[in-house]
Amino acid sequence: MDQPSLFGEHPHLFEVGGGKIFNVATVPMRSPFRYPGGKTWLVPYIRQWLLSRQTRVKEFIEPFAGGGIVGLTAAFEGLADHVTMVELDDQVASVWRAILYGYGEQLANRIASFELSTESVKKVLDSPANSLLDQAFATILKNRVNRGGILAPGASLVKSGENGKGLSSRWYPETLKKRILDIAHISNRITFIEGDGMEVMRQNAHRKDASFFIDPPYTLAARRLYSQWKLDHEELFRTAEGLAGDFLMTYDNDELIRSLAATHELQIREVAMKNTHHARMTELLIGRDLCWLGAQ
């Protein structure tokens, strides 16, 4: 979650890692968010990880859900019997609560009927949210009109935007409506918890039938990108080490994280990514046993 995701909105981008090339255009765009640090690029690895297991995952737990693409993929593609998504940020949580607990259709229709302009956007964002639906709509709107999809305080509105379209450059009302309705349709497969992801990990630490995808706020840029960015990274590693079930963790390629992984005797693989501008970025995949990735 360390930088705005290019992949979620640009299907022509691809990533390279572990000797494999995955075209991100093959990954269905499930999330209504354009989330900083989104993990669309990781979906092929998630499929590989979960399908490599000898026993089916009963509960797939995503303690730092954010934009939720990984948990949504597991739910839509039946990669686990049930998915639990956890998010502490009240803005992000309002969207998941609305979609999964009975307000999905109202939210989708409100988005589809909204006439976007500078004035209408400012009116919504400057008004208090008097209901869950109000908060969810304002969050989606802010996510779509802020630069990089950033929801943290101080984020600014898009100016020129994509192809000079300004605020409307990432506002796709019919697409968003469909995504929200699709998620609402499978809401029985997903439990959402607004709360502390590490506490949920502790509560489920005894479960051998649960698998955890851990994508915390990263060490380098989290303060700029997220409202809920503070995290005890050492405690997260201790908590992960105590899980009876399998887990996969993603992190920025940072010496602190490498040191923590070594201390807790976890395996690390670098995942290299390239975009069409040939910018190279690396992240870390961390787990007890990464043999399912194959040789690098």
More confident residue, 254 or 279: 254
* C-alpha–C-alpha distance, residues 275 and 280, integer Å: 7
Residue 288 falls inside a structural domain: yes
Digit-coded pLDDT (tens) for 210-264: 999 999 986 554 444 444 446 888 999 999 999 999 999 998 888 989 999 999 9
Whether the predicted model's global pTM rises above the 0.75 cut = yes
Residue 234 within a domain: yes
**How many angstroms separate the CA atoms of 151 and 125, rounded?**
12
67 part of a folded domain: yes
Strand ranges of the sheet holding 247-252, from the earlier edge strand across to the other edge: 190-194, 80-87, 57-62, 210-214, 247-252, 280-287, 267-274
Examine residue 207 and state whether it is found in any structural domain, yes or no: yes
For 26-72, the pLDDT digits (tens) are 778 899 998 656 688 889 999 999 999 888 999 999 999 999 999 99
In a domain, 214, yes or no: yes
The closest alpha carbon to 246, from 37, 54, 84, 39, belongs to: 54
Which structural domain, as residue segments, surrounds residue 226?
Answer: 14-293
Report yes or no on 58 lying in a domain.
Answer: yes
- Chain segment 159-212, per-residue pLDDT in tens: 655 555 667 767 899 999 999 999 999 999 999 999 999 999 999 999 999 999
Does any domain span residue 7? no
Judge whether 130 and 218 are in contact, CB under 8 Å. Answer: no
| Tokens (6 digits) for 5 | 């995701």
What per-residue confidence (pLDDT) applies to 25?
A: 66
Asked whether 233 and 260 are in contact (CB, 8 A), the reply is: yes
Name every residue whose Cβ is closer than 8 Å to that of residue 40 and which is 6 or more positions away in sequence.
Answer: 5, 7, 8, 24, 27, 29, 69
Which domain CATH number covers 249? 3.40.50.150
Residue 200: per-residue pLDDT: 97
Q: Report the number of distinct structural domains present in the chain.
A: 1
6 part of a folded domain: no
